[in-house]
Structure 1
Amino acid sequence: MAQIPAGRDCPGQLSPKQAGEAWELKARRWLEGKGLRFIAANVRGRGGEIDLIMKEGRTTVFIEVRYRRSSRFGGAAASVTAAKQHKLLQTALLWLARHNGSFDTVDCRFDVVAFTGNDVEWYKNAFGEDA
């Protein structure tokens, strides 16, 4: 059995970056099981990052993946603030422009996959360009 990579301060535990990548992969696999098709991961733009870009039919879906151990402070979905939404929208605009598209020409939406403890929630069309 493969050993879990160690974080800097906690031998045997994942670093925050490694943990984030693991939850993103879990979300990707879960969404693929729901029929979405993977396009890209960890797309970066000026000041923002989109965790996953997938397709559902003809719709391009920009997905933010969040994890919280518990709902004590509002759960995972509550952590997608207005400022975070704005960054995601701007990054999506840049990605679309690089692929000869825009919000006017491409059918797209913004989803959140929220893992809180052992629960997963999928918020389709969680926010949009008017956010």
Structure 2
Amino acid sequence: MTTKPQHDAPRQPALAKNALGTYGEGLAVRRLTATGMTVLARNWRCGRAGEIDIVARDGDTLVICEVKTRREGAFQHPMAAVTPTKADRLKRLAACWLDRHGGPPPPGGVRIDLIGILLPRRGAPVVTHAQGVA
């Protein structure tokens, strides 16, 4: 009898991963709008530079929002997801947004936020919004 090799953790299919991300972004949009922010765009792309999950306005501040959704027990907590490399990419994407949408930063400047969503095995998702992470 042959047995299949054991793996540390099953890999999540791409479709399931995309659905998880879309679900998390929907929760993030609801959180932002509930606090009075206006969502300007979702999944905005700037060529090869990448994608901004959510572009919003908080008063006179432009907010570039990265959303990370994880299931409980995942390798990395969602709030640990913005590395210096990722922060630099988000800053470049913010500059690209400004370039394509009318030039200089708004009076309140540009802020980069992170919304981390943790999905427990049971119960409601835990949504954490950290402002000005980069």
TM above 0.5:
yes
Q: How many angstroms apart in 2 are the aligned matches of 1:85 and 1:34?
A: 24
Q: How many angstroms apart in 2 are the aligned matches of 1:34 and 1:105?
A: 20
- Structure 1 segments unaligned to the other structure (5+ residues): 1-8
Matched, 1:85 2:87: yes
1:36 CA displacement: 0.6
Alignment of 1:89-104 (within 5 A): 89-103=91-105
Q: Is the 8 A contact 2:62 2:106 kept in 1?
A: no
TM-score, normalised to structure 2's length? 0.76
Which residue among 110, 119, 124 is the counterpart of 2:126? 119
1:59 CA displacement: 0.8
Q: Aligned letter for 2:29?
A: R
Q: How many angstroms apart in 2 are the aligned matches of 1:39 and 1:27?
A: 13
1:80 CA displacement: 1.5
TM-score, normalised to structure 1's length? 0.77
User: Over alpha carbons, which structure has the higher Rg?
Assistant: 2
Q: Aligned letter for 1:44?
A: R
Q: How many angstroms apart in 1 are the aligned matches of 2:104 and 2:76?
A: 33
Q: Aligned letter for 1:43?
A: W
1:100 CA displacement: 2.0
* Runs of 4+ with >4 A deviation: 103-106
Q: Is the 8 A contact 2:71 2:118 kept in 1?
A: yes
Matched-pair identity in %: 32
Q: How many angstroms apart in 2 are the aligned matches of 1:69 and 1:37?
A: 27
